[in-house]
Structure 1
Amino acid sequence: MSSAPRFKMQIYSPLSGYKDLYHFKKTKEGWTFENYRYKGEVDKGGNPLFYRSLITESISCPDHLEVYISSAWENVDTLNKEQMQNIFDELSEWISDSGKNSIDPLS
């Protein structure tokens, strides 16, 4: 599993005024998660470190985000790296916009 690709999210932080980088890499049980504050194992939905990092940055979480991240985990082995990165890019945009609008990334 060490050769599993890493996927990145760039999420706007109202605290810094910049987009922060978040990395996810699939593991057998979930993800290895990393950003500039936290690094470690998280479950398929990103708990707890991903959400802790969003809260620390004052980023509001869209509803059902955990379901979408779990769904991405389920699809890693059936989609190629580019398709997977596109999912993470859409989620990044959705999270970045969630403070302004309430939208569904799949609509």
Structure 2
Amino acid sequence: MEKKTIIGLTFTKEGEKNVNGEVLEENVEAVKEYATSFGYELRSQVTINVPVKHYEQTKAKDYKSFFPTQNKNLQNIGEEFKLSLYSQRWGHNDFYTLTKTEEGWNVTTNKLKNAKGDKHAGPHIENALTGESISFPSDIGYFLSDIWDASQTKSKEEVQSYFYELSEWISTTEKTKPNFGALLI
């Protein structure tokens, strides 16, 4: 009987039951990163030789379902979403990454790495855009909060489409704002 290798993982978190799961070897790092985003720590990792049928069943499983947070209707936790915003100052688009957390959004830019923010991505997204002289709506935080709430029941692709719309709106505003720099000559 042919055997294949899978990895058995156990994660712990204070005040929670241990989480056990089986994954393919190539998914171990992604599972660890995902678990860490929920505050879990890897307790043990074992290599298991299993029949091909068991391997195929393991391959079909979504490792995110191992974690109880998914059962509390918190979807897209740990997922990254992109804002692609035009900068008149630099003449090109820059990317702003927002990673969904249980509390809000972590913001990553050229100058920030995973800065923890609330559902409004505050204060980091506004500070980043202001620092780059990008015009944006004063209520951007409310839009990001609405997207966070919607992401509870929407697919990652649907949520990213909201970020595309927001990117387009901000970029259009930035591209069409007047440039009064010529008046200083």
Give the TM-score band, short-chain normalised: 0.7 to 0.9
2:144 corresponds in structure 1 to 69
Give RMSD over aligned pairs: 1.5
TM-score by length of 1: 0.86
1:78 corresponds in structure 2 to 153
For the Cα contact (< 8 Å) 1:62–1:94, is it kept in 2?
Answer: no
Alignment partner of 1:18 out of 83, 89, 92: 92
- 3-state SS of the aligned residue for 2:106? strand
Alignment partner of 1:34 out of 99, 103, 108: 108
- 3-state SS of the aligned residue for 1:21? strand
| Cα distance in structure 1, aligned partners of 2:120 and 2:147 | 9
| Cα distance in structure 2, aligned partners of 1:30 and 1:54 | 18
2:17 corresponds in structure 1 to none
* Higher RCO (CA 8 Å, separation ≥ 6 residues): 1
TM-score by length of 2: 0.51
Answer 1 or 2: which has greater helix percent: 2
1:104 corresponds in structure 2 to none
Deviation of 1:28 (Å): 1.4
For the Cα contact (< 8 Å) 1:26–1:32, is it kept in 2?
Answer: yes
| Cα distance in structure 2, aligned partners of 1:43 and 1:18 | 28
Deviation of 1:50 (Å): 0.6
Q: Which runs of 5+ in 2 are unaligned?
A: 1-33, 38-76, 178-185
| Cα distance in structure 1, aligned partners of 2:106 and 2:140 | 17
Deviation of 1:63 (Å): 3.8
Q: Which runs of 5+ in 1 are unaligned?
A: 102-107
Q: Does 1:49 align with 2:124?
A: yes
Compare CA radii of gyration and give the structure with the larger one.
2
Residues 62-88 of structure 1: CA deviation (Å, up to 9, x unaligned): 142211110001111200011000000
| Cα distance in structure 1, aligned partners of 2:125 and 2:160 | 17
| Cα distance in structure 1, aligned partners of 2:129 and 2:139 | 15
Letter in 2 for 1:59: I
Letter in 2 for 1:29: E
2:170 corresponds in structure 1 to 95
Letter in 1 for 2:171: S
